[in-house]
């Protein structure tokens, strides 16, 4: 990445755990993920729309679309190395990483749009890294363009693209022009996209939000962080609870029990730590919608 002369914003090193002062629903059984015996039910009905939730089989040999009915899923594709949602479409990287494909939205039909690639990233536009150099490319208006060098991670947040340098010493914001980037912070162990950019302090693990060109600590360490339906959610470090950020200070409310992983997008989803079953959080209620999978992708 090209560095421009922007003041370095350091993450403040403090050790404070996530505040859960408003945890009024902590003990309600409604929010506990329960183990169930059912696996994903595959429907023979293939719908033309792309859906909101997609699940990858445990062996990564098939990808399914959720049909908005519990345990009702339709196969839309075969094996792949990874899948992401970008610019209103679903994309997949082939198993041998030789090709990048775009889902047509119909049946199991996909079209090749590029490749090879080592990784792909979703968001406002599709991103892919060159398998030889690690350089980052953007797929826009049916064309691939190099927009930067190698990096540790890439995320879209608040309509902008951010990258974490390869050595994780700095966070950069893409200017939208050529290969020009501005340094906006660092160092960080991880970055997370969504409504606003998030980054974790490499020493304490605390979570910071980048808003109005300022970094603010909003919580302590966690296993994962996602934005869903306009809200920020965190999975505790021991994966025993799911929290929703109040938007004020470092205050979080507990909204769920133990989870293996959480997924963000138009809805919040989480997987049961024992069975791997997928649950959807909607109208303050957790409901099982399918069985275990290797990965789930939520429309954004």
**Which pLDDT band, with edges at 50, 70 and 90, does 23 fall under?**
very low
* Per-residue pLDDT tens over the stretch 122-136: 999 999 999 999 999
pLDDT of 9 above 90? no
pLDDT of 42 above 60? no
pLDDT of residue 73: 97
**Which pLDDT band, with edges at 50, 70 and 90, does 29 fall under?**
very low
Q: From CA 199, how far away is CA 184, in angstroms rounded?
A: 11
Q: From CA 199, how far away is CA 188, in angstroms rounded?
A: 6
Domain count, the chain: 1
For the chain, the average pLDDT equals 86
pLDDT of residue 223: 98
* Per-residue pLDDT tens over the stretch 221-261: 999 999 999 999 999 999 999 999 999 999 999 999 999 99
pLDDT of 162 above 50? yes
Pairing type for strands 89-93 and 82-86 reads antiparallel
* Per-residue pLDDT tens over the stretch 175-226: 999 999 999 998 999 999 999 999 999 999 999 999 999 999 999 999 999 9
pLDDT of residue 296: 97
pLDDT of 5 above 50? no
List the one residue out of 174, 207, 176, 214 whose CA is nearest residue 191. Answer: 207
pLDDT of 90 above 50? yes
pLDDT of residue 24: 25
- Output the domain CATH number for residue 287: 2.130.10.30
pLDDT of 21 above 60? no
Question: How many beta carbons lie within 10 A of that of residue 182, not counting itself?
Answer: 15
Mean of the pLDDT values across residues 57-81? 96
- Classify residue 164 as exposed, middle or buried by CB count within 10 Å of its CB (0-12, 13-18, 19+): buried
Cβ atoms 174, 158 nearer than 8 A: no
Domain holding 240, by residue range, is: 2-298
Report DSSP state, residue 87.
T
pLDDT of 25 above 60? no
pLDDT of residue 208: 98
Q: Both tokens of residue 42?
A: 């595959």
pLDDT of 50 above 90? no
């Amino acid at each position: 990445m090209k560095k421009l002369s922007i003041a370095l914003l350091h993450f403040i090193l403090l050790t404070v755990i996530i505040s859960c002062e408003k945890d009024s629903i902590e003990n309600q059984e409604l929010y506990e993920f329960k183990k169930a015996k059912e696996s994903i039910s595959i429907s023979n009905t293939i719908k033309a729309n792309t859906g909101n939730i997609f699940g990858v089989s445990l062996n990564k040999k098939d990808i399914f679309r959720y049909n908005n009915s519990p345990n009702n899923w339709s196969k839309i594709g075969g094996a792949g190395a990874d899948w992401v949602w970008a610019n209103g479409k679903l994309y997949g990287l082939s198993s041998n990483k030789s090709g990048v494909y775009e889902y047509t939205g119909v049946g199991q039909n996909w079209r090749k749009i590029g490749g090879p690639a080592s990784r792909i990233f979703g968001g406002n536009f599709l991103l892919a890294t060159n398998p030889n150099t690690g350089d980052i490319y953007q797929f826009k208006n049916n064309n691939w363009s190099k927009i930067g060098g190698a990096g540790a991670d890439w995320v879209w947040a608040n309509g902008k693209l951010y990258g974490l340098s390869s050595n994780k010493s700095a966070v950069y914001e893409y200017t939208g022009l050529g290969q020009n980037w501005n340094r906006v912070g660092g160092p960080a162990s991880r970055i997370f996209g969504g409504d606003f950019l998030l980054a974790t302090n490499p020493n304490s693990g605390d979570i910071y939000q980048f808003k109005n060109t300022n970094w603010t600590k909003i919580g302590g360490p966690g296993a994962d962080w996602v934005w869903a339906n306009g809200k920020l959610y965190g999975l505790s470090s021991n994966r025993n609870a799911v929290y929703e950020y109040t938007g004020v200070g470092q205050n979080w409310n507990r909204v769920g029990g133990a989870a293996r992983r959480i997924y963000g997008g138009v809805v919040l989803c989480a997987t049961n730590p024992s069975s791997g079953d997928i649950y959807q959080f909607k109208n303050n209620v957790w409901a099982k919608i399918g069985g275990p999978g290797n990965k789930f992708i939520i429309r954004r």
